[in-house]
Amino acid sequence: MANTYLPTVISLFSGCGGLDLGFEQVGYKILFANDIEKSVEETYRNNLGDIYIGDITKLDKANDIPDADVILAGIPCQPFSNAGNRGSMSDTRGTLFQHVLEIIDLKRPKVVVFENVKGFLSAKDDQGQLMPNRLEQELAKHGYDTFWKLLNASDYEVPQNRQRVFIIGIRSDLNVHFHFPSTITKNENILVGAVINRPFPIDEKMEYWPLSPQAVHLQKFIPAGGSWKNIPDEELPERLKKIRREIKKYRSPNFYRRFALNEIMGTITAAATPENSGILHPLEPRRYSVREIARFQSFPDTFKFYGESIAKKYKMIGNAVPPKLAFHVATAIFEQIFNNPDN
């Protein structure tokens, strides 16, 4: 990095630190990180540093949170996710947005970064207004110009098709028209085979969440590249038989997806259920291991995960922002804001 100045960061709703890691790799300095989930604390501390675990709404925002150049706000995605019950800003997690605005008003960072799931684009606030429009209006009131784009992680060196919305707020007095990073040509390094064939870290045991007896049975019928469509009717559980019979009522379900070696992995989810998340190993009768899904999320092998259960490790990885995607967004911000002598 030619510029020796290290932009400083406040990270809110940090999770295990995927977004923070990407920014740190560019050269940003994390001054404050927060999450309410105790389960992510050990992982974050051992890889990135200090983190405040607790309810951000209870903090003295003026005194407990330092000033910084950038605020990262990966607001919990569940109110807006297609995978759960679609909510709105009236959802308790959705109202966290208002607390972020308070922090923005107090700290006046040069840049604010929001990240969320694709469903955010069609989510509405409690007045029925689309969330992107609401967010743009609110940031404008606070003196920020807004730029947003739906990005696919596989366009940025992440071995996974994962669509996420990035909303960049830039303080209006900087007079910057932000351009999102250009996509990167895909190559064989982001295919399933390239990920699972890499040598396993010698200092780490393989951990994976065992399949249920039903999943162990059903996966026998699914070849690499296949799905529930390969399972004979007589072998399906009753619920899936009913869906297959009434398939026109559903939006192209593709249960028990098993990606082939020459495919790009589908979206890693926090639940890690073989029925819905494409987490079946293509060659072995098991889920992907903790390290394998971390690699699909683009975490380096040096990033270690801690937790009282394997399921919680899957969850924190599935909830994370892929660090390589964050790296490219962070680089674009640095080059346009912090490497600009006018700013």
Catalytic amino acids? 77
Cα gap 282→91, rounded to integer Å: 38
Q: How far is CA 225 from CA 3, 52, 106, 134, 282, in A?
A: 46, 42, 51, 41, 8
Q: Looking at this protein, which amino acid is placed at residue 233?
A: D
Cα gap 88→128, rounded to integer Å: 9
Instruction: Please state, as a whole number, how many other Cβ atoms lie within 10 Å of the Cβ of residue 63.
Output: 8
Q: Looking at this protein, which amino acid is placed at residue 57?
A: T
Which SS3 state, helix, strand or coil, does residue 115 take? strand
Beta partners for residue 8, in sequence order: 29
Q: What values do phi and psi take at 246, rounded to 5?
A: -115, 40
DSSP state letter for 243: H
Cα gap 337→3, rounded to integer Å: 12
Q: What values do phi and psi take at 135, rounded to 5?
A: -65, -45
Are residues 169 and 111 in contact, defined by beta-carbon separation less than 8 angstroms?
Answer: yes
User: Any alpha helices (H) in 213-298, and if so which ranges?
Assistant: 213-218, 238-245, 274-277, 290-296
Q: What values do phi and psi take at 204, rounded to 5?
A: -140, 135
DSSP state letter for 77: S
Closest CA to 255 of 281, 292, 226: 226
Instruction: Please state, as a whole number, how many other Cβ atoms lie within 10 Å of the Cβ of residue 76.
Output: 19
Beta partners for residue 115, in sequence order: 166
Are residues 51 and 14 in contact, defined by beta-carbon separation less than 8 angstroms?
Answer: yes
